[in-house]
Amino acid sequence: LEGAQEQFAEFMRIAGMYLEVATTPQLGIATNDSWIRDYGPIFVINDEGQIACHDFQFNGWGGKYETRNLDNEVPRQIAQHLDLPCCTHSMVLEGGSIDVNGCGTVMTTRQCLLNENRNPAMSIKEIEAELHRALGTRHVIWLPGGIEGDDTDGHIDDVARFVDPQTVLAPRAAPEHPDFAVLERNWDALGQTRDQDGQPLRRIALPVPEPISYDYPPDRWGPGGLQMVPASYANFVMANGALLVPIFGQRTDDSALKIFSQTLPDYCVIGVPADLLVVGLGSLHCLSQQEPQPTSISTN
């Protein structure tokens, strides 16, 4: 735990070089968990530069953990703190389960959003309609699923991320890796899909770190034991000209950082140690939720 806290502090320090950083304790907001990407507000910005928040329901990643009543209040509290309008939804949705290209496409996985432990009464068409209504999108890319050790039922932020409107970075593993099959299915799906305008996507492969496992003690959520954790270079954060990439003390770190630098030459690519953070089953993207810079703010 101490090592993970040190890595979190280092992440906050580096992020603070490029962003104005605020934690929920600093805002006086109580939470059940640290993964604000999933339960925090989802910010949207319109063509006039006005910002609003969306407050989706959070049920502890499909009811895997005990009540998350504090987490569910966070979007409204942050919206109130920022004096922003906030739209509340009845649909269950975590921020880490979606990624957008900013031009009308949202990307997600079938394993998560179509899971019966999220919105069993909603059809795929109803889910798509709600996403479009909230995010201003008009096209959904559905990938098959997520990686081993991910207790979120396959969040997209570990398996495929937009870095511009037509470019997606996605991990690909060696055949002997436990995630090989699902990552290949995702890769193939990305090759067959199109964006909101019917154009093919540009796919760039990221390496995959060697499997990292942790021997968890038994607790109220399970018997514990040795478990693979969801280590992925795709769990990066883009921050005002900087790209903060989780690294895991492995030989694949350098090759991953090189790919990011080649793909985004105008960004300052920084590796942030996350091998202990990921024992908590999340990483840099999971720990953060960005607020866009407005050009004007409306509370109407």
Give catalytic residue positions.
286
**Biggest distance spanned by C-alpha atoms of the chain:** 55
- DSSP structural state of residue 295: S
pLDDT given for residue 149 in this prediction: 94
pLDDT tens series, the chain, 300 aa: 789 999 999 999 999 999 999 999 999 999 999 999 999 999 999 989 999 999 999 999 999 987 678 999 999 999 999 999 999 999 999 999 999 999 999 999 999 999 999 999 999 999 999 999 999 999 999 999 999 999 999 999 999 999 999 999 999 999 999 999 999 999 999 999 999 999 999 999 999 999 999 999 887 666 788 999 999 999 999 989 999 999 999 999 999 999 999 999 999 999 999 999 999 999 999 999 999 988 754 443
Q: What's the pLDDT score for residue 289?
A: 97
The angle subtended at Cα 231 by Cα 287 and Cα 56, nearest 5°, is 40
Supply the pTM of this predicted model: 0.94
Strand partners, 92: 57
Tell me what pLDDT residue 298 has.
43
Phi, psi of 50 (to 5 degrees): -90, 140
Q: What is the pLDDT of residue 191?
A: 98
Pick from 214, 150, 156: nearest CA to 186: 156
Residues 41 and 75: their CA atoms lie apart, in Å, by 4
Q: Please enumerate in sequence order all residues whose Cβ is within 8 A of that of 119, keeping only pairs 6 or more positions apart, or say none.
A: 91, 92, 113, 127
Beta carbons of 190 and 204 less than 8 angstroms apart: no
Q: With contact defined as beta carbons under 8 Å apart, do 253 and 247 qualify?
A: yes
List the domains of the chain with CATH numbers.
2-42+49-280 (3.75.10.10)
Which of these, 46, 80, 5, lies nearest to 294 by C-alpha position?
A: 46
Q: Give residue 181's Cα distance to chain centre.
A: 21
Q: Which two tokens stand for residue 39?
A: 């339960």
Contact 273, 24 (CB under 8 A): no
Interatomic CA distance for residues 110 and 131, integer angstroms: 14
pLDDT at 151: 94
* Phi-psi domain of 149 (left: phi exceeds 0; alpha: psi -120 through 50; beta: other): left
User: Residue 250: how many CB atoms within 10 A of its CB?
Assistant: 16
Which helix H or strand E contains 110, and what residues bound it? helix 110-113
Tokens of 220: 């109220």
CA distances to 9, 41, 82, 97 from 37, in Å: 17, 8, 17, 9
**At a CB cut-off of 8 Å and minimum separation 6, what does 43 contact?**
51, 52, 53, 54, 289, 290, 291, 292
